[in-house]
Amino acid sequence: MYAQNVSTGTQGVRDADELSPEEAAFQARIDGNIKIEPKDWMPAAYRKTLIRQIGQHAHSEIVGQLPEGNWVTRAPTLERKAILLAKVQDEAGHGLYLYCAAETLGISRDELMNKLHSGEMKYSSIFNYPTLTWADMGAVGWLVDGAAIMNQVPLQRTSFGPYARAMVRICKEESFHQRQGYSIMMSMVSGTPAQKEMAQDALNRFWYPALMMFGPSDKDSVHSDQSMAWKIKMNTNDELRQRFVNETVPQAHYLGLTIPDDDLVWNEETGNYDFSQPDWEEFKAVLKGNGPCNRERLGARIKAWEGGEWFRDGLAAYAEKAAKRRVAA
Amino acid sequence: MANEWPLWEIFIRGQHGLNHRHVGSLHAPDAEMAINNARDVYTRRKEGVSIWVARSTEITASTPSDKGPMFDPAEDKIYRHPTFYNIPDEVGNM
């Protein structure tokens, strides 16, 4: 999940008789699956929560370019390089769709950028892990984009129109991301023993961080109930995590790789895999800014933003001048 | 920053013979750059054959609360639809 631990600023879900007439009408629309559009009335907390969630989602797409951008110049073949470049470009596009959706709620692009750079807004914990070898490009596409798809497919039905429409567009493009990652893994495991080892090592390092993407366990996820009532969250964290494990384990078996979890076992009774939880203390530390790459990622973002300022200003100055010239002519 | 680029609404013609359709929006300093950016943001997979851009501030929209008075009057004018009229089978296809 690209949005983790999004606060709703509320204390649980209120009963129907505690809602104002406006709030009740709003909730009735959501319950009837009628989309909420930017100009419609909405509770202030719904607006605020969505700005946080969509903003965090957008930031994740943009920051998510960095670990993969790291490998564009070092891809093993021209074809892989072109593919990786296309994927990284897609992530930029996904960020832009989402920023626009957030802006319809009354926050500006620059405010969003500033909040990312100041650390007030977060991005997904997963992008604070380093990409050390080429096999990591395989693991990221397969696991990270795979986990993102789990979360994004149901969000196509989310209650806020612009968010839902951005999700439809993103989901159409996301499947390529996962498949290209799996295709890298297939090449690695059919290569030399050293290459297969690299693939296993990448899986070992990305497995638990990928499980963390879905956010804390349901019992510790304090804002889930309100978000689900508003239909800005469609499934619980544990539901999606389970679904991801169930789908991914056979894919790892096909590759001949081992999931780094000694307690992983198929549970005949529940029809699910039983699996070990990630280290939630590590998750909290990464969210707080103390993951392996937090400083590097944010530093790269700020450098790009500040270093590009003269260029943005130059284009704006040219546009202004050209407009004046047109008026004069 | 005071210099935020304006917002543009993007319309794409998917195929020859179809209407341009609203696909989303983006920021750009001027119309030319808006078209360039729209190509990269909205047509990476051959989604279009033509692009229109319009400044978002130039678009006037109806308000959601006017939905009733705006659109309800059409509701009871079912005689505007061909199925309102019964034409005998003997007349043939009409």
Is position A243 within any domain?
Answer: yes
pLDDT score at A325:
93
Residue A290: domain span: 16-328
Nearest CB among B27, B41, B44 relative to A109 is that of B27
pLDDT tens for each residue of B38-69: 999 999 999 999 999 999 999 999 887 888 89
CB A184 within 8 A of CB A136: no
Q: Report whether A176 contacts A87 (CB < 8 A).
A: yes
State if pTM tops 0.95. Answer: no
Task: Give A173 to chain B, closest Cα distance, Å.
Answer: 9
A169-173 own/partner pairs: CB under 8 Å, 24+ apart:
A169/A97, A169/B24, A170/A94, A170/A97, A170/A98, A173/A90, A173/A93, A173/A94, A173/B44, A173/B45
Chain A touched by B30 (CB under 8 Å): yes
CATH number of the domain residue A71 falls in: 1.20.1260.10
Choice among A74-83, A281-290, B24-33, B58-67 with the minimum mean pLDDT: B58-67
Among A1-5, A36-40, A194-198, A220-224, the minimum mean pLDDT is found in A1-5
**Percent helix / strand / coil, chain B, rounded to 5:** 35, 20, 40
Of A100, A309, A313, the CB nearest to B25: A100
Mapping DSSP to helix (H, G, I), strand (E, B) and coil, where does residue B9 land? strand
Chain A CB contacts of B45 below 8 Å: 173
A4 lies in a domain? no
pLDDT in tens, A257-287: 999 999 999 999 999 999 999 999 999 999 9
- Nearest by CB to A316, from B25, B29, B64: name it: B29
Number of A/B CB contacts below 8 angstroms equals: 50
* DSSP state for residue A278 in the 8-state scheme: P
Please determine, for residue A225, whether its predicted confidence score (pLDDT) is greater than 80. yes
Residue A79 to residues A82, A84, A185, A187, A211: CA-CA distances in angstroms?
Answer: 5, 9, 15, 13, 30
Q: What pLDDT sits at residue A10? A: 73
> What is the residue extent of each domain of chain B?
7-62
Q: Does residue A10 lie within any of the structural domains?
A: no
pLDDT in tens, A117-161: 999 999 999 999 999 999 999 999 999 999 999 999 999 999 999
* Adjacent-strand bridge partners of A265: A274
- Is A322 within a domain? yes
State mean pLDDT over A165-189: 95
Q: Does A313 touch chain B (CB under 8 A)?
A: yes
In chain B, what percentage of residues exceed pLDDT 90?
Answer: 81
Dist. CA A110–CA A92, nearest whole Å: 16
Write out pLDDT tens, residues A91-124.
Answer: 999 999 999 999 999 999 999 999 999 999 999 9
**Cα separation, A17 vs A31, whole angstroms:** 16
Tell me how many domains chain A contains: 1
Measure the CA–CA gap between B27 and A253, rounded to whole angstroms. Answer: 45
Residue A2 lies in a domain: no
Mean pLDDT of the A305-311 span: 95
Q: How confident is the model at residue A37 (pLDDT cuts 50, 70, 90)?
A: very high
Mean pLDDT of all residues in chain A? Answer: 94
Superfamily of domain B7-62: Phenylacetic acid degradation B (3.10.20.520)
- Measure the CA dihedral A215/A219/A220/A224, to 10°: 60
